Amino acid sequence: MNTILHKANTRGHANHGWLDTNHSFSFAHYYDPNRVNFGVLRVLNDDFVEGGMGFGTHPHDNMEIISIPLQGDLEHRDSMGNVTLIRQNDVQIMSAGKGIQHSEYNKNKDKKVNFLQIWVFPKEKNITPHYDQKNFDPQKRENKLQLIVSPEKGSEGVLINQDARFYLGNLKKGFQTGYAISQKGNGVYAFVIEGDVTVNGQKLNKRDGFGIWDTDKISITADSNSELLLMDVPMNP
């Protein structure tokens, strides 16, 4: 078994005025050769966007881009014709494929929006771009791991072009569970959104990240009421 620990206060940070962001992996002007990616997981940004502000229209290609709002409302527009609002308990994914353009703005002028921006290398390149967005009932992740991203068409998760599965759990203090990694060659990156969690004996706090690979399963204990994101991804990009 191999592990890597990324404490919250070791993340890259940038404050652009309208955007205050922390990078778990190298991004933009933040570069650490030891933190470029975790397998196919390339970007995990913790973004806070000021009221009425946002990312203007810009291109992407050959990347799976997942947005998970934690608070506030994010307005999305793209070259596929989608105009949507992404709120807490929604999960959005864009398979950029052979190329798309999109913009994201804070819908509200009076409060910040906080969302996780996650990029995953695709399994197949130059596919036709694809968009998916779903709302997830938070009661279905109370002391459970709720599937929110899946490679399987027709599953409850949004569809990703990669052998990856993401889960959210709202875990009560003292709750214990295990997780079996989905397939050989995959690892798990655990990100604590809120609270305190122990994963395979490693104590984690709010916004800590912990990667585990070369094992079949992991153990999870909630040391306080917690919200946990698990990303089960191939380790060979």
pLDDT grade, residue 237 (50/70/90)?
confident
Is the pLDDT confidence value at 123 over 80? Answer: yes
Per domain, the residue ranges of the chain are 2-124+137-234
Is the pLDDT confidence value at 80 over 80? Answer: yes
Mean pLDDT, to the nearest integer, of 55-60?
A: 93
Is the pLDDT confidence value at 107 over 80? Answer: yes
146-150 vs 158-159, strand pairing mode: parallel
Cα 9 to Cα 12, 22, 206, 210, distances in angstroms? 8, 9, 10, 13
What's the start-to-end Cα distance of the chain, in Å? 19
Mean pLDDT, to the nearest integer, of 16-25?
A: 97
Mean pLDDT score of the chain, rounded to an integer? 96
Is the pLDDT confidence value at 137 over 80? Answer: yes
H, E, C per residue of 111-179: CCEEEEEEEECCCCCCCCCEEEEEECCHHHHECCCEEEEECCCCCCCEECCCCCEEEEEEECCCCEEEE
pLDDT > 70 in the chain, percent:
100
pLDDT grade, residue 112 (50/70/90)?
very high
Mean pLDDT, to the nearest integer, of 85-110?
A: 95
- β-bridge mates for residue 5, sequence order: 210
DSSP codes of every residue in the chain: -EEEEE-GGGSEEEE-SSEEEEESS-BTTB--TT-S-BTTEEEEEEEEE-TT-EEEEEEE-S-EEEEEEEESEEEEEETTS-EEEEETTEEEEEE-TT-EEEEEEES-SSS-EEEEEEEE--SSSSPPPEEEEEE--GGGGBTS-EEEEESSTTSSSEE-SSS-EEEEEEE-TT-EEEEE-SSTTEEEEEEEEES-EEETTEEE-TT-EEEEESSSEEEEEESSSEEEEEEEEES--
- Topology at the third CATH level for domain 2-124+137-234: Jelly Rolls (2.60.120)
